[in-house]
């Protein structure tokens, strides 16, 4: 087949396979966004009299049909097509002939992929923020259900002060809300339109209207100057990966608590059988595998975050093929973040705190700080003196 960059010279098959890498697989999720950007571009070209109105209508209709067929699973990108852009244009040309060849005027694969990635990021940002809010609601529901139960508060893994299930779950709910808000703020990073910047230096001679494509695609404005477009690659991706990793850390910490609270030694939490797995050798075992895996996912997230950060870190200005390698860790991060958020939201509905075990765990030492504060208020002692008196009572001074 003819590739978008093909000049009629043969390319070594092994080199081609290596450079294509996973793009033909990863780009399946970009097809819908490349269709939208290509339609906006074609309409702009027609408005600027660079292609005919009839060609623009035909291109728009054909791209809509091709995109819908992909969504239905009727075709997928093949290895020899390299990426979403080539796959779409090949099908467009096969369907329309000469008219299909006109859609690439005034753009490059460089601004195509950057535009598609920003549209994908917008969708992912909205989805992940909504899911983080749903997770916060699940934590709030847990707090409403079992919130009045007492629960030891821990520092250094030692019983420290009295708390409640409501305070424990409410703290996580607040952080999940904060995560959702932080993710939403990323919309500002993907608000500028790179379409029409081509390979990073604009398009000579052609009167492109980048403001028109910005309006149609929902961007605030064209990204200017055009040289900033390729310099910005990896930054919004890294920002998304960072916020997703923070969400996953909060998820992991809640999961770590639940793993601990579900042990026989603590037994604060009861998990339904359908949320646990068994041992292949020990008949009595019920294991909280789902929470263990949630606890581990933040480690994978950190690795993917560093991959996204480090690929562009030492590049010179302009486009480099290195940037292709951002896709895999970024997409994996998005999938893991949404998957973990969804499963913890689901699992929290089955978590129950054991009222009796929680009450038994509230030993008198948890109230030591309260006793010291009472001495300050009731006897007028300096806090340090009150602290020492209460410490002696609990064996702090011999």
Quick one: which of 162, 316, 125, 342 has its CA closest to 251?
Answer: 342
CA atoms within 13 A on the CB side of 48: 18
On whether the CB atoms of residues 349 and 342 are closer than 8 A, the answer is: no
On whether the CB atoms of residues 255 and 291 are closer than 8 A, the answer is: yes
Give the torsion through C-alpha atoms of 127, 132, 138, 141, to 10 deg.
-120
Query: What DSSP string runs through 161-179?
Result: EEEEHHHHHHHHHHHHHHH
Residue 338 DSSP SS3: helix
Cis check: omega of the bond before 225, within 30 degrees of 0: yes
In angstroms, how far is CA 389 from the centroid of its own chain? 51
Quick one: which of 101, 29, 96 has its CA closest to 67?
Answer: 29
H or E stretch at 65: helix 53-71
In angstroms, how far is CA 97 from the centroid of its own chain? 39
Cα–Cα distance, 213 to 82 (Å, whole number): 26
CA atoms within 13 A on the CB side of 161: 9
Cα–Cα distance, 272 to 168 (Å, whole number): 20
Quick one: which of 254, 237, 272, 239 has its CA closest to 341?
Answer: 254
Q: What is the DSSP pairing of strand 150-155 with strand 192-193?
A: unpaired
Catalytic residues: 156, 279
Cα–Cα distance, 308 to 79 (Å, whole number): 24
Give the pair of three-digit tokens for residue 261: 């609270």
């Amino acid at each position: 087949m003819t590739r978008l960059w093909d000049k009629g010279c043969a390319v070594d098959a092994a080199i081609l396979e290596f450079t294509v890498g996973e793009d033909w697989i990863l780009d399946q999720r970009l097809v819908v966004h490349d269709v939208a950007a290509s339609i906006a571009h074609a309409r702009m070209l027609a408005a600027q009299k660079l292609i005919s109105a009839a060609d623009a209508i035909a291109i728009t209709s054909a791209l809509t049909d091709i995109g819908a067929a992909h969504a239905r699973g009727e075709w997928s990108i093949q290895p020899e097509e390299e990426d979403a852009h080539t796959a779409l244009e090949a099908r467009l040309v096969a369907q329309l002939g000469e008219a299909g060849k006109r859609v690439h005027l005034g753009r490059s694969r460089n601004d195509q992929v950057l535009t598609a990635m920003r549209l994908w990021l917008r969708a992912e940002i909205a989805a992940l923020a909504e899911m983080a809010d749903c997770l916060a609601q699940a934590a709030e529901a847990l707090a409403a259900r079992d919130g009045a139960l007492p629960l030891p508060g821990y520092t250094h893994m030692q019983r420290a002060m009295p708390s409640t299930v409501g305070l424990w779950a409410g703290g996580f709910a607040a952080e999940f809300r904060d995560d959702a808000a932080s993710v939403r703020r990323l919309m500002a990073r993907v608000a500028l339109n790179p379409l029409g910047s081509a390979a990073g230096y604009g398009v000579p001679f052609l009167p492109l209207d980048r403001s028109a494509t910005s309006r149609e695609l929902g961007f605030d404005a064209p990204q200017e100057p055009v040289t900033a477009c390729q310099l910005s690659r990896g930054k919004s991706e890294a920002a998304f990966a960072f916020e997703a990793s923070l969400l996953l850390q909060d998820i992991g910490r809640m999961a770590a608590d639940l793993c601990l609270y579900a042990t026989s030694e603590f037994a604060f939490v009861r998990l339904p059988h359908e949320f646990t797995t068994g041992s292949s050798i020990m008949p009595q075992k019920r294991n909280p595998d789902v929470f263990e895996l949630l606890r581990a996912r933040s480690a994978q997230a950190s690795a993917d975050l560093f991959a996204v950060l480090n690929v562009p870190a030492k590049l010179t200005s302009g486009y480099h093929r290195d940037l292709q390698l951002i896709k895999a860790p970024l997409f994996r991060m998005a999938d893991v973040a949404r998957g973990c958020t969804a499963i913890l939201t689901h699992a929290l509905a089955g978590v129950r705190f054991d009222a009796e075990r929680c009450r038994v765990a509230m030993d008198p030492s948890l109230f030591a700080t309260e006793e010291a504060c009472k001495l300050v208020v009731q006897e007028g002692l300096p806090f340090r003196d009150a602290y020492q008196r209460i410490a002696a009572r609990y064996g702090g001074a011999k």
